Amino acid sequence: MTSLKKKKKTAFEVTANKAHKLLESLKKYETFKISNIKDIFGNIKYSGSNESNKLNRFELTYASILTNDEKDLENLIEDEISEKVYRHISALEVLEDIADLKEAIFEFNVKNGLSYKLNYINKKKEHIKLLEAYVLKSKPSQTSLNEIVSRLKKLKDSVFERNEDFVFEYQFWNKEQIEKELKNIKSTILKYEEEISQINSTNKLTIELFDSSKELLGL
């Protein structure tokens, strides 16, 4: 009977930068490998029937049956079995390697104190956009709220139409304070990025890959 066992993995010691590149390369095949697995049981899951399961179904042309003897026909079927099993097992191996690479990189980040820095960089993206929007909308001179209200109260009734809202602009923030906060955030991000880059380029971690992944990566 054909074995459905996965092969043994090979261990590699690589820098974190290399691990990231390997992961990104493997992820390009992720959708395709998932589709190889779904081809097996996807229809069964939704139909509730085993009829759509084609794992044990094979097709031979009438010509091949006529022109091949029994041994050759067995070889044709066995070749198709080998190809089918390889496609399924290699898909499992690549998907497992992707998951394990993610886990190895996560553990590396925690061990080397990078998780906090990466999280800071990521969560500050929207904060920066918000602060920059305030700075862009800032004006050199500011009018106090008291002065605006005073002007509104001095307007004559003839200026307003019935039930009309009066639209005005009021800069309720301090531009200098926001610019200072923005500068501090960007400075911290730059510092963290340099530290992360240094660690990722020098510190190493051990990863393991199946031959299926190694073939895709050219290793």
- Answer yes or no: is pLDDT of 7 > 90: no
Whether pLDDT at 44 is above 50: no
Residue 57, Cβ density class (10 Å: 0-12 exposed, 13-18 middle, ≥19 buried): exposed
Give the C-alpha separation, 172 to 139, whole Å.
11
Any idea which residue has 């998907």 for tokens? Answer: 95
3-state DSSP assignment of residue 204: strand
- Per-range mean pLDDT, top range of 47-61, 72-86, 111-125, 139-153: 111-125
- Listing DSSP states for 97-125 in one string gives HHHHHHHHHHHHHHHTT-HHHHHHHHHHH
Q: How many CB atoms lie within 10 A of CB 195?
A: 14
pLDDT, residue 47, reads: 47
Q: For the CA atoms of 66, 67, 68, 70, what is the dihedral angle to 10 degrees?
A: 30
Tokens of 187: 């400075």
> Diameter of the chain by CA atoms?
106
- Sign, CA dihedral 190-192-197-198, equals positive
Sign of CA dihedral 70, 72, 75, 79: negative
| Domain spans, the chain | 10-112+208-217, 117-151+167-200
Contact predicate 17/109, CB 8 Å: no
Query: CA triplet 137, 139, 142: central angle to 5 degrees?
Result: 125
Residue 161 has pLDDT above 50, yes or no: yes
pLDDT class of 46 with cuts at 50, 70, 90? very low
pLDDT tens string 110-150: 999 999 999 999 999 999 999 999 999 888 777 778 887 88
Q: Report the C-alpha gap between 23 and 96 in whole angstroms.
A: 12
